[in-house]
């Protein structure tokens, strides 16, 4: 794992956007794995600016998002479909047909899970997967549990995750109890992985991810086994790490 520590959220976001720029410049038809949550919003803003300044071209890029709430209509402003349109897709020249987000409204959700994994496979796999991290070290919506899920599946959300995400809803009751998410196995198959974290409330999850035992109780700890992971942090998220372990930017 390469660990880069940036001064603050803005620097972290710039660095992350530069990595996506390099990826898309070297391979214009890159397959990007994308994430939601507050963490990547700054990176998306930088990518939009780069697009407006004609530095990056998304016309051949394909995307796969990690997850979506279960049975939350796509036009609900808390759905991850809505989030991605609002924070990225509506502002860049991506071809709509190249956007993939799990369909939490699918009538047959089991079939949808299989369809999603097959589509990733057919596209030859994700070139770079962007990840945020939950306070309990979840990635996508892979919650701490007793075994690593390999494939896309429907997950029951932990109360702590629902509470954390309730800040975006009117009340906790409105936060869906389930989600559809790529499994840790599907995430792990990405050629490169870029994990982003900012703020003190992520420091313990980051410490456990990098130094803890590899266990499904700390879903992100599986990344220790991947051969191409870059972790980009701000100083607060890195606050429990030893400064000798990382490169400061
Ligand atoms: C959600 C998403 C994750 C995200 C996490 C952290 O649960 N499913 O992909 O990493 O939230 O979100 P935030 O970046 O807002 O802290």
* DSSP per-residue codes, 106-168: -SSHHHHHHHHHHHHHHTT--SEEEE---TT--BTTB-S-SS---S-EEEEPPHHHHHHHGGG
Q: What pLDDT sits at residue 246?
A: 87
- Taking a C-beta distance cutoff of 8 angstroms, is the pair 44, 100 a contact? no
Give the residue numbers marked as catalytic: 67, 136, 138, 143
5-54 pLDDT per residue, tens: 999 999 999 999 999 999 999 999 999 999 999 999 999 999 999 999 99
Q: What pLDDT sits at residue 249?
A: 82
Distance, CA of 55 to CA of 48 (rounded, Å): 10
Q: Where are the domains of the chain?
A: 29-233
Residue from 9, 84, 132, 181 to probe ligand 1 pocket by mutation (most atoms less than 8 Å from CB): 132
Q: What pLDDT sits at residue 244?
A: 84
Q: What pLDDT sits at residue 245?
A: 85
**Nearest residue by C-alpha to atom 12 in ligand 1:** 37
Which residue, 20, 91, 34, 29, is CA-closest to 60? 29
**Nearest residue by C-alpha to atom 10 in ligand 1:** 132
CA of 181 to the centre of ligand 1 (A): 12
CA of 246 to the centre of ligand 1 (A): 24
Output the CA torsion 191→192→196→201 (10° steps): 60
Q: What pLDDT sits at residue 243?
A: 86
CA of 38 to the centre of ligand 1 (A): 7
Q: What pLDDT sits at residue 247?
A: 87
Residue from 36, 44, 197 to probe ligand 1 pocket by mutation (most atoms less than 8 Å from CB): 36
Q: What pLDDT sits at residue 25?
A: 98
For domain 29-233, give the fold. Rossmann fold (3.40.50)
Alpha-carbon distances, residue 103 vs 27, 89, 227 (angstroms): 28, 17, 30
pLDDT in tens, the chain (249 residues): 999 999 999 999 999 999 999 999 999 999 999 999 999 999 999 999 999 999 999 999 999 999 999 999 999 999 999 999 999 999 999 999 999 999 999 999 999 999 999 999 999 999 999 999 999 999 999 999 999 999 999 999 999 999 999 999 999 999 999 999 999 999 999 999 999 999 999 999 999 999 999 999 999 999 999 999 999 999 999 999 998 888 888
CA of 130 to the centre of ligand 1 (A): 11
């Amino acid at each position: 794992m390469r660990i880069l520590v940036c001064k603050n959220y803005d620097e972290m976001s710039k660095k992350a956007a530069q990595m996506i720029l390099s990826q898309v410049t070297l391979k214009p038809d890159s397959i990007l794995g994308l994430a939601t949550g507050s963490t990547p919003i700054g990176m998306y803003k930088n990518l939009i600016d780069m697009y407006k300044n004609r530095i990056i071209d998304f016309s051949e890029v394909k995307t796969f998002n990690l997850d979506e709430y279960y049975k939350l209509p796509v036009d609900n402003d808390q759905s991850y479909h809505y989030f991605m349109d609002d924070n990225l897709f509506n502002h860049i020249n991506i071809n709509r047909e190249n956007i993939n987000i799990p369909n939490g409204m699918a009538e047959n959700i089991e079939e949808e899970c299989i369809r999603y994994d097959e589509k990733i496979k057919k596209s030859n796999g994700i070139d770079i997967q962007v990840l945020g991290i939950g306070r309990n070290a979840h990635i996508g919506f892979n919650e701490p549990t007793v075994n690593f899920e390999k494939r896309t599946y429907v997950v029951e959300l932990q109360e702590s995750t629902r509470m954390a995400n309730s800040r975006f809803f009117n009340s906790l009751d409105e936060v869906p109890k389930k989600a559809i998410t790529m499994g840790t196995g599907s995430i792990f198959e990405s050629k490169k992985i870029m994990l982003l974290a900012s703020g003190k409330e992520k420091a313990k999850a980051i410490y456990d991810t990098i130094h803890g035992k590899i266990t499904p109780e700390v879903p992100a700890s599986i990344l220790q086994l991947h051969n191409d992971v870059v972790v980009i942090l701000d100083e607060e998220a890195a606050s429990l790490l030893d400064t000798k372990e990382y490169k400061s930017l």
